[in-house]
Homo-oligomer: A and B are copies of this chain.
Amino acid sequence: MADDLNSVKTDSRTYHHGALREALLDAAEAVIAERGVDGFSLREVARRAGVSPSAPAHHFRDSRGLLTALATVAFRQFGDALEAADVGATRMDCIRSQGLAYVRFALTERAKFDLMWRYSLTDSNDADYREAGRRAFLILDRRMRGEQSSRFADEPAAAPSLACWSMVHGFARLALDGAFGSGPEAAERAAELLLPAVLKHLDV
């Protein structure tokens, strides 16, 4: 595996692919982006990667394995997006900015976002997968906790974070699932128009 990365691009047909794992993840991403998560098939992914149907098994035991790996990648990108959005003059600004980024990610990476939460398709015991999900939540959670102590002393510590997470998650899902009209455009328009107003009703 000490492959020169350039050679991967250049020598076109060797018996050993050289970067098949990544190629399969890319292909899988393309497939679900085009056909939706339910349209995923291992054979189709292999086909796109130009490889026999049994090749993926060497890198990801089975189809669930591949999807779990892809969901993990997706959660990492998602976490990165939240982290990048954690900016603003005040704590509340940061929170709102993260909320917008949350929904934007869901709407631009529809299929990946779907997959991240389709736990019937992934191995929810996979350590990397769990860790990637946990990290994403903690980015928001850390900002929510901030310096300030909760005004709601009698409640579980995670409640404010969870309230925020629930609201943006719910909004994103409703948008994706066509509650604001079907098609990506309708969802994006709704998000632009409504989400800022909706976030005003979050009290944390």
* Residues of chain A at the chain B interface (Cβ within 8 Å): 36, 38, 117-121, 124, 133, 137, 152, 155-156, 158-160, 162-174, 177-179, 182, 193-194, 197-204
Residues of B within 8 A of A172 (CB): 170
Number of copies: 2
Main secondary structure of the interface of A (DSSP, over half): helix
Supposing A38-B38, A159-B197 touch, asked if A119 and B166 sit within 8 A by C-beta, the answer is no
Residue of B nearest to A118 (CB): B177
Q: Is the CB of B156 within 8 A of A193?
A: yes
- Name the B residues within 8 Å of A156 (CB-CB): 193-194, 197
Chain B positions within 8 Å of A163 at CB level: 167, 198-202
Q: A163-B202, A166-B174, A173-B117 are in contact. Are A197 and B124 (CB under 8 A)?
A: no
Residues of B contacting A193 in the complex (Cβ-Cβ under 8 angstroms): 156
